[in-house]
Amino acid sequence: MLPKFLKPYHTNKSNLVRLGPKTDGGYIIDKRILRLTNTLITCGLNDDWEFERDFWKRKIKCQIAAYDHTINKEFWWNRFKKDFIAFLLFRKLRISKILDIFKYLDYKLFFNDKKHHYQKKIVFKKKNNKEITIPEILSKFDKIILKVDIEGDEYKILNDIKKNTNKIVFLIIEFHEVHKNIRKIKNFLNKFDLKIIHIHGNNYGGLDKYKDPKVIELSLINSKMVKVKKILCKNRYPVKGLDYKNFKRREEIKIRFYE
């Protein structure tokens, strides 16, 4: 079972909406925040910007800034070679899979104008111009949605996130190796204006020995900017109609909490 401090606060289900695909890369937001912000900051992009695309569709005049140092020319060349070989070996026969070979074109078309991808690594202490810190990013913006999925490095920047809460309307964050870092998560959430309103277990990460998810996705809203009821939610997680399997071939993870 997960500790009670990870249990979401009550939010009307009608306020919750999923952005992104009905698989890995989709996350839950509270649609009330859309009137408060025009800016989405993404830390960790990989080759999936469907969440960003959905946000852009709802906020056409928005700004999107994505940071991921691993998405470069080498990444795209290696990806194309791998996909093209799979196609020649008849492993990519569906139209969607064939189109996916040319994902780079979609990348170039999407990231333009007010939507930018920066090849910079998110760090706690900057050592060179290929790195950037959360305070440096947020110095350019105000009232933002912050999405963090940086494969374990999230723990290095939690203090920076907490110190800049006044600039964050909504936070989406993936915590990896939860069973090893539960104290860090607890300290981060303690005396925090950002309140959890949704939780999902990422089944890509598997289960620990107690059958709890090793990777969790949290959605948090700034209680100083949007009213949050001071009662815990009674939902069962995953929530039907909102949550979907990250990895379709594995069972969804049911989340249980200590009372």
**How does residue 70 score in pLDDT terms, banded at 50, 70 and 90?**
very high
Residue type, 122: I
| Residue 159 and residue 92 share a domain | no
Integer CA distances (angstroms), 167 to 30, 78, 185, in order: 17, 37, 20
SS (H, E, C) the chain: CECHHHCCECCCHHHEEEECCCCCCCEEEEHHHHHCCCEEEEECCCCCCHHHHHHHHHCCCCEEEEECCCCCHHHHHHHHHHHHHHHHCCCCCCHHHHHHCCHHHHHHHHCCCCEEEECCEEECCCCCCCEEEHHHHHCCCCCEEEEECCCCHHHHHHHHHHHCHHHEEEEEEEECCHHHCHHHHHHHHCCCCEEEEEEEECCCCCECCCCCECCEEEEEEECCCCCCCCCECCCCECCCCCCCCCCCCCCCCCECECC
Its pTM stands at 0.95
| Residue 163 and residue 37 share a domain | yes
Which of 95, 118, 141 delimits the end of a domain?
118
- Does residue 92 surpass a pLDDT of 70? no
pLDDT of residue 90: 76
pLDDT of residue 95: 76
Find the angle CA(245)-CA(211)-CA(200) to the nearest 5 degrees: 35
| Residue 173 and residue 65 share a domain | yes
Six-digit token pair at 221? 């809203």
Mean pLDDT over the full length of the chain: 94
Which of 118, 151, 183 delimits the end of a domain?
118
CB 63 within 8 A of CB 140: no
| Residue 224 and residue 150 share a domain | yes
pLDDT of residue 60: 87
**How does residue 84 score in pLDDT terms, banded at 50, 70 and 90?**
confident
Convert the pLDDT of each residue in 101-149 to its tens digit: 889 999 999 999 899 999 999 999 999 999 999 999 999 899 999 999 9
| Residue 175 and residue 91 share a domain | no
Percent share of the chain, pLDDT over 70:
99
CATH label of the domain that carries residue 6: 3.40.50
| Residue 33 and residue 150 share a domain | yes
Please tell me the distance from the alpha carbon of residue 189 to that of residue 171, in angstroms, as a whole number: 12
| Residue 26 and residue 137 share a domain | yes
- Does residue 156 surpass a pLDDT of 70? yes
Please tell me the distance from the alpha carbon of residue 39 to that of residue 61, in angstroms, as a whole number: 9
| Residue 106 and residue 1 share a domain | no
Please tell me the distance from the alpha carbon of residue 144 to that of residue 166, in angstroms, as a whole number: 10
| Residue 87 and residue 147 share a domain | no
pLDDT of residue 181: 97
Q: Which domain holds residue 102?
A: 72-118
**How does residue 173 score in pLDDT terms, banded at 50, 70 and 90?**
very high
158, 164, 170, 174: CA torsion to nearest 10: -10
| Residue 125 and residue 48 share a domain | yes
Q: How many domains, in total, are found in the chain?
A: 2
Q: Of the ranges 39-53, 74-88, 193-207, which one carries the lowest mean pLDDT score?
A: 74-88
Six-digit token pair at 240? 């039907």
| Residue 126 and residue 250 share a domain | yes
pLDDT of residue 99: 75
Which of 86, 118, 150 delimits the end of a domain?
118
- Does residue 96 surpass a pLDDT of 80? no
| Residue 204 and residue 100 share a domain | no
59 — alpha (psi -120 to 50), left (phi > 0) or beta? beta
